[in-house]
Amino acid sequence: MNWHEYVSKTGRLPEWPYEVNYGKENVIESDVLVVGGGVAGCRAAIEARKQGATVAVMDRGFSKHSGNGGAGVDHWHGAVTNPCSKVTPEMYSEVAMICSGGYTNGSARYIIGKEGWDTLLELEEWGMQIRDLDDEFKDTMFRDEETKLLFAYDVENKHCLRVYGHNVKPIVDAEMRRLGCEVYDRVCVTSLLTEGGKQGARVIGATGVNDRTGEFYIFKAKAVVVSTGVTGRLWYFAPELINDATMYNLNQTAAGHTIAWNAGAQLVMMEQNSARPLSGMGYAPYSTGNTDNTYQGVPAVDNEGKLIKYENSHGELIDEEHDIFAAADPDKFVIGHGINLSMVNGKEYSVTNMDRHVGEKIRKGEYKLPLYNDWTLLPPKHRRLVFGMMLSQEGKCRVPIYYNLTKWGFDPDKDMLQYPVDTPEGYALGAAWVSSRSHNPPNWGGMGVGGILSDWRLQATTPGLFAAGGNTLFGSGCHGEAQATGRYCGRQAAKFAKDHPAVEPDAEQIRKEKERCYAPVTREQQGDVGWKEMNYALARLMQDYCGFEVKTDTTLEMGIRRLNDLRDTEGERTYASNPHELVRLLEVFSLIDLGKLIMESCLARKASSDLLGFKRLDYPEVDPPEWDCFVSVWQENGEVHSKKLSKRYYLEAPYADNLEENYRRYAELDGKEGK
């Protein structure tokens, strides 16, 4: 029964169905605590448990389906040691550094390259299909006949796999629970606990609030993994709409970034801003025609059926279908797409895409709008590989696009899928599948891939804190990468827990946190501002003072003041009618801190950067040599600090100057041979 049916039938609003106990304390002790039970978090929990640690997992949602990865996976990146791959972990890491001009996580990419395939093989053992077992795609260029693996993006180098991952999340969730990890669903993290309650000290646990009962959770742990993913709620209005229509999960606020920042950990690349067409004002991903990502290779035609060709990195139009799935240069490879990598310097390693001159050609009348995907131009097996296999594996496509289109009678054997009608220049990479560019205000930004600064153990600068998965760990990001870094972190956290005794948290730190969390339901004067209004106000402040196009010292400083004001004025007038609203409010307060962290990072970099997608109106010089570095930011006793850091810090002292030696030194292989 839905809300409307209930109200019509009973004539009243439903009562809160759970017993509410605001402030009631639950104390949980474990060797390892995982904050965020997404795919990375589940893998961290599984691995830590396998190493003999006791494990608690806190998740904001229901870990069986929570997180961006809860929707399923169709592309598995970074499986570079699979038997068909011509790419090595060294190539994967080094090329990622080249493509992004060094603004990525070189050590994490190497670790992913070393372990991504093994991580996938474990999934196969647990029941996820990773091969074309029914020989449906036999004798196509996408398949290796011996292993039955299917490849995407680059059919020559064969390192990105097409997988049948619609059920990936229930599978890792079940394995985590089977091994005896204690899972605390619907608990939102509010802070990390640190030794002596000090910023920058060892991390020894976390606090959280349950969004059904309102109870308070105190997790005590010897080591903590954070893997809370990314957020879509910072720049955009109407989070409930935006998160449905784009790629984000409403429960996600990048809380791991914020709790780490408040605990005194260093973060990097937080100034990176993307003008991503994910404002929620476009169409649902993949519901319209496009040639990108899952739809790569599907032919586009204009309104008169005229074919629009794909183009390679040399700017040559492609005639052979095979060449759509290959690098233009035989000595290069396509590194992949959607792996949180700025490709500013990576043209030769990029995916092929629609003729980049299509906009001019539309203006000249050579092509007539609207455009369409004409599936009938594909061989039947290739058509089925995209519309059947791929679309049905990614959760946000499986039901809303694949099932619905099919149910409504769409048949790729004879029907075409229309593109949004956009400005001619709007038909650029990615324009269509998330929405068209012209549907999005130009100054609205989105979070880049900044996150917690990590060492070779993927440990933060605060001991005992490990970062895994998309975005929490800086400079990494896709599904396979998240699972691989989660698995690696689990191993590291278990080892840390073995080597370090438990420390009792500081009672004053807990008391203050509790007081802060329950203020909206305990203050004497009834509040009149709800969480959605707070979220809208925050979005407007981010749009104005930390927009994609316009940033100056003055506007950023004003923005930080405005965020403080928002918290200290309207924030003090907030109300919550039930634990759900209380937790949504706590999320907004967390987002306010995240906004400040981002603005502080933007202030710290006194230059613009194409590589980072970072524009300063008052420092227009682009990528000057003195700013060719990371800028890390952190807090100490509430004061903000920043410093420059070499982008190749992971190959400089105290580390060895080569990837493999560092991996062997720190990976905790325990006698197992690294590949």
Ligand X SMILES: Cc1cc2nc3c(=O)[nH]c(=O)nc-3n(C[C@H](O)[C@H](O)[C@H](O)COP(=O)(O)OP(=O)(O)OC[C@H]3O[C@@H](n4cnc5c(N)ncnc54)[C@H](O)[C@@H]3O)c2cc1C
Chain contacts with ligand X (rule: CB under 6 A): 35-41, 58-61, 66-69, 71, 73-75, 77, 188-189, 227-229, 247, 249, 251-253, 255, 338, 394-396, 469-470, 477-480, 482
Least distance to ligand X, CB of residue 441, Å: 22
Query: Nearer Cβ to ligand X, position 46 or 301?
Result: 46
Query: Nearer Cβ to ligand X, position 249 or 462?
Result: 249
Least distance to ligand X, CB of residue 59, Å: 5
The answer for residues whose C-beta is within 8 angstroms of residue 626's C-beta and 6 or more apart is 607
- For the CA atoms of 291, 292, 295, 300, the dihedral, rounded to the nearest 10 degrees, stands at 0
The answer for residues whose C-beta is within 8 angstroms of residue 571's C-beta and 6 or more apart is 529, 534, 589, 592
Least distance to ligand X, CB of residue 395, Å: 6
Task: Tell me if 96 sits within 8 A of 106, measured CB to CB.
Answer: yes
CA–CA dist 198, 265 (Å, integer): 11
Least distance to ligand X, CB of residue 48, Å: 15
Query: Nearer Cβ to ligand X, position 249 or 454?
Result: 249
Q: Which helix (H) or strand (E) holds 467?
A: strand 465-467
56 pairs with which residues across the strands? Answer: 33, 182
**DSSP track, 628-653:** -SEEEEEEETTEEEEEEE-TTGGGST
- Record the tokens describing residue 198, joined without a space: 């000090």
CA–CA dist 328, 332 (Å, integer): 8
Spatial CA neighbour of 496 closest among 51, 42, 46, 50: 51
DSSP class of residue 352 equals P
CA–CA dist 419, 185 (Å, integer): 40
- Record the tokens describing residue 305, joined without a space: 């059926």
Least distance to ligand X, CB of residue 39, Å: 4
Spatial CA neighbour of 590 closest among 253, 194, 219: 253
Query: Nearer Cβ to ligand X, position 68 or 312?
Result: 68
Query: Nearer Cβ to ligand X, position 157 or 662?
Result: 157
Q: Is the dihedral of CA 144, 147, 149, 155 positive or negative?
A: negative
Query: Nearer Cβ to ligand X, position 341 or 521?
Result: 341
DSSP class of residue 574 equals B
- Record the tokens describing residue 574, joined without a space: 């907030």
Query: Nearer Cβ to ligand X, position 348 or 587?
Result: 587
Least distance to ligand X, CB of residue 355, Å: 25
Query: Nearer Cβ to ligand X, position 358 or 405?
Result: 405
Question: How far is CA 64 from each of CA 18, 59, 170, 230, 613, rounded to the nearest angstrom?
Answer: 21, 10, 5, 18, 35
Least distance to ligand X, CB of residue 527, Å: 22
Least distance to ligand X, CB of residue 308, Å: 25
Query: Nearer Cβ to ligand X, position 73 or 604?
Result: 73
Query: Nearer Cβ to ligand X, position 154 or 374?
Result: 154
- Record the tokens describing residue 210, joined without a space: 């349950």
Least distance to ligand X, CB of residue 475, Å: 13
Least distance to ligand X, CB of residue 657, Å: 30
Spatial CA neighbour of 341 closest among 92, 622, 159, 99: 99
Query: Nearer Cβ to ligand X, position 258 or 312?
Result: 258
Q: What is the largest CA-CA distance in the chain?
A: 72
CA–CA dist 257, 248 (Å, integer): 16
Q: Which long-range contacts (CB under 8 A, 24 or more apart) does 601-609 make?
A: 601/267, 601/269, 601/270, 601/271, 601/450, 601/631, 601/633, 601/642, 602/271, 602/273, 602/546, 602/551, 602/556, 603/553, 603/556, 603/557, 603/560, 604/271, 604/631, 604/633, 604/642, 605/271, 605/631
Least distance to ligand X, CB of residue 293, Å: 8
Query: Nearer Cβ to ligand X, position 183 or 275?
Result: 183
Least distance to ligand X, CB of residue 549, Å: 26
Closest chain position to ligand X (CB) = 38
Query: Nearer Cβ to ligand X, position 37 or 297?
Result: 37
Question: How far is CA 601 from each of CA 111, 588, 631, 641, rounded to the nearest angstrom?
Answer: 27, 20, 8, 10
Least distance to ligand X, CB of residue 218, Å: 15
Least distance to ligand X, CB of residue 585, Å: 13
CA–CA dist 274, 450 (Å, integer): 11
Least distance to ligand X, CB of residue 142, Å: 15
Query: Nearer Cβ to ligand X, position 28 or 189?
Result: 189
Least distance to ligand X, CB of residue 172, Å: 10
Task: Tell me if 587 sits within 8 A of 538, measured CB to CB.
Answer: no
Which residue's entry shows tokens 């001019």? Answer: 360
CA–CA dist 90, 660 (Å, integer): 8
Write the single-letter amino acid at 340. Answer: N
Least distance to ligand X, CB of residue 278, Å: 10
Query: Nearer Cβ to ligand X, position 280 or 338?
Result: 338
Query: Nearer Cβ to ligand X, position 66 or 608?
Result: 66
**DSSP track, 148-216:** --EE-S-TTT--SEEEEETTHHHHHHHHHHHTT-EEETTEEEEEEEEGGG-TTS-EEEEEEEETTT--E
Query: Nearer Cβ to ligand X, position 41 or 571?
Result: 41
CA–CA dist 415, 410 (Å, integer): 6
DSSP class of residue 99 equals H
